[in-house]
Amino acid sequence: MIASSLIKQFDVPGPRYTSYPTADRFYPDKEGLALQKGIEYRSHHPKALSLYIHIPFCDSVCYYCGCNKVVTKNHGMAVDYLQTLVKEIDAVVSLLDHGNVNDLKVAQLHLGVGSPTFLSDEQLAELISHLNYRFDWLESCEKSIEIDPRTMNKERFIHLKQLGFNRLSLGIQDFDPDVQLAIHRVQPYQSVVSMMRIARELSFDSINMDLIYGLPKQTKDSFFRTLTEVAALRPERIALYGYAHLPERFKPQRRIAIEDLPDAEQKCAMLENAVDYFMAQGYEYIGMDHFALPHDELARVKKVGQLHRNFQGYHTLKDCDLVGFGVSAISDIGNCYSQNLKNLTEYSAQAAAGKLPIEKGLVLTDEDILRREVIMSIMCQGKINIIEIEKRFLIDFKEHFSQALIRLKPFEREGLVTISPESIEVSEEGWFLIRPMAMAFDQYIWQDTDHRRFSKVL
Ligand code: SF4
């Protein structure tokens, strides 16, 4: 584990680089021109698809939440939303379908945030049935869904299995009762133990648990208890995020009393404990916030240098075009990004009218593509192969990235990275500061000195 003094020294707010350029660089694109350009590129460079479906509803609000969600008890809202989704899916499929056998082949499906299990079993079945009707599925397709354990019972797990889901992600955050009260998300440990037992009986391929450190009322000791309880359940993957308190941006966070938050010293100890403990329990450190058991696909792809990063974090499939459906969803197709409208009413009106419900987009320049390759190499492999980059992009790396190399110097001096004429390699300790190192290669972030919209490691 890295010394806490180094984390404090280099811990500046920065992007998580789920894309490059980052989403705050997208420009207005109501016509969806970037998406159309990406799809046109794809027609000559076909890849399997990764589908992301954004289900924005939650029954109640968690105070730490920074997601784009709608908190409501009115489950009728989901009926209208599903109808809108179907329209959007049909509109995008008609663009993707060029009559080639691989146009609509899907390698990965993910239903995500707020709570996809807000949908009833019938609604989920309806959505999956429409996707089955519109897309072709690779036999090895990974189908995952985010689960709010508070909405689940045995019958629901069986239903998810019958719908073809083979991966689950459970929002846990912390098992301590005081913390759960302070974040307005009460889900007792024993109920999650029962859920896990059912999920194991049904043989889901991989189960992920999300945890957060830095929450109100958390202490080093209380969080350590959560770590031991989580590790005892042996989820294949663990995502461990640092809580970023940004109440001016995220309204629910205003209900968190600032005096209840652990300070940077305590957060550092929690992170340190978590890394040491999970590794002692047989987990491998994947990068930034992720751990996986050695037999899990995420650990395997990391070993063979095939780890990938997209809007959902670290991923196993490198060579896919990502198509996002639903309010605020982002697509990444053929060197073009596009993002749907973030406002539910506007998104619904546009999609219901049969139009692409897009708000923003970005067509990558050649320079963006080069820098994306470099940033994703460092984020996913902890390594940049300078010779390969020079050959592929016909550049003199040292000259092209002279500023970035200067920015990396302080990290090099502390042994967090090694720079040679052939490669740049992040040390084991350096992995904990991968974000500020990746920032060195970001062309845009240095044009603007106010990085407060981003979070920090601690
Ligand atoms: S954390 Fe998840 S379940 Fe809680 S309010 Fe946010 S999106 Fe909904």
Ligand 1, closest atom to CA 113? 7
3 state SS of 365: coil
| pTM exceeds 0.85 | yes
Contacts of 11 (CB under 8 A, 6+ apart): 433, 436, 456, 457, 458
Ligand 1, closest atom to CA 114? 7
Note down pLDDT in tens along the chain; length 458 residues: 667 778 778 878 889 999 999 999 999 999 999 999 999 999 999 999 999 999 999 999 999 999 889 999 999 999 999 999 999 999 999 999 998 888 999 999 999 988 999 999 999 999 999 999 999 999 999 999 999 999 899 999 999 999 999 999 999 999 999 999 999 999 999 999 999 999 999 999 999 999 999 999 999 999 999 999 999 999 999 999 999 899 999 999 999 999 999 998 899 899 989 999 999 999 999 988 899 999 999 999 999 988 999 888 888 887 899 999 999 999 999 999 999 999 999 999 999 898 999 999 999 999 999 999 999 999 999 999 999 999 999 999 999 999 999 999 999 999 999 999 999 999 988 988 899 999 999 999 988 766 666 666 56
Please name the helix (run of DSSP H) or strand (run of DSSP E) that holds residue 48, with its range, or none.
strand 48-54
Q: Are 78 and 118 in contact (CB under 8 A)?
A: yes
Could you tell me which residues are beta bridge partners of residue 173?
A: 211
Question: Is residue 203 packed enough to be buried (19+ CB in 10 Å), middle (13-18) or exposed (0-12)?
Answer: exposed
Contacts of 349 (CB under 8 A, 6+ apart): none
**Ligand 1 in reach of 356 Cβ (< 6 A):** no
Contacts of 428 (CB under 8 A, 6+ apart): none
The dihedral of CA 332, 237, 215, 428: what is its sign? negative
The pLDDT of residue 114: 81
Taking CA atoms, 381 is separated from 10, 156, 230, 276, 445, in Å, by 20, 37, 27, 21, 22
**Ligand 1 in reach of 58 Cβ (< 6 A):** yes
Ligand 1 centroid–CA 62 distance in Å is 5
**Ligand 1 in reach of 61 Cβ (< 6 A):** yes
Ligand 1 centroid–CA 153 distance in Å is 19
Ligand 1 centroid–CA 433 distance in Å is 27
**Ligand 1 in reach of 114 Cβ (< 6 A):** yes
Ligand 1 centroid–CA 179 distance in Å is 15
**Ligand 1 in reach of 112 Cβ (< 6 A):** no
364: left (phi over 0), alpha (psi -120 to 50) or beta: beta
- Determine which residue's CA is closest to atom 7 belonging to ligand 1: 114
Determine the Cα–Cα distance for residues 56 and 113; give it in Å rounded to an integer: 6
Determine the Cα–Cα distance for residues 182 and 64; give it in Å rounded to an integer: 9
CB atoms closer than 10 angstroms to residue 248? 10
**Ligand 1 in reach of 148 Cβ (< 6 A):** yes
Ligand 1 centroid–CA 182 distance in Å is 14
Question: Is residue 74 packed enough to be buried (19+ CB in 10 Å), middle (13-18) or exposed (0-12)?
Answer: exposed
Determine the Cα–Cα distance for residues 376 and 315; give it in Å rounded to an integer: 12
Ligand 1 centroid–CA 207 distance in Å is 19
Q: Are 425 and 383 in contact (CB under 8 A)?
A: yes
- Determine which residue's CA is closest to atom 1 belonging to ligand 1: 65
The pLDDT of residue 365: 98
3 state SS of 159: helix
**Ligand 1 in reach of 360 Cβ (< 6 A):** no
Contacts of 176 (CB under 8 A, 6+ apart): 217, 218, 222, 223, 225, 226
Could you tell me which residues are beta bridge partners of residue 291?
A: 238, 285
- Determine which residue's CA is closest to atom 2 belonging to ligand 1: 114
Beta-sheet strand order (sheet of 383-385): 383-385, 423-426, 417-419
Determine the Cα–Cα distance for residues 297 and 344; give it in Å rounded to an integer: 35
Q: Which of 63, 64, 71, 115 to mutate to test the pocket of ligand 1 (most atoms within 8 A of CB)?
A: 115
Q: Are 436 and 409 in contact (CB under 8 A)?
A: no
Ligand 1, closest atom to CA 60? 5
Q: Which domains does the chain have, with CATH numbers?
A: 1-15+365-450 (1.10.10.920), 22-325 (3.80.30.20)
Ligand 1, closest atom to CA 61? 5
**Ligand 1 in reach of 116 Cβ (< 6 A):** no
Strand pairing report for 206-213 and 336-340: unpaired
Taking CA atoms, 180 is separated from 172, 190, 290, in Å, by 10, 14, 22
3 state SS of 95: helix
The dihedral of CA 265, 270, 273, 274: what is its sign? negative
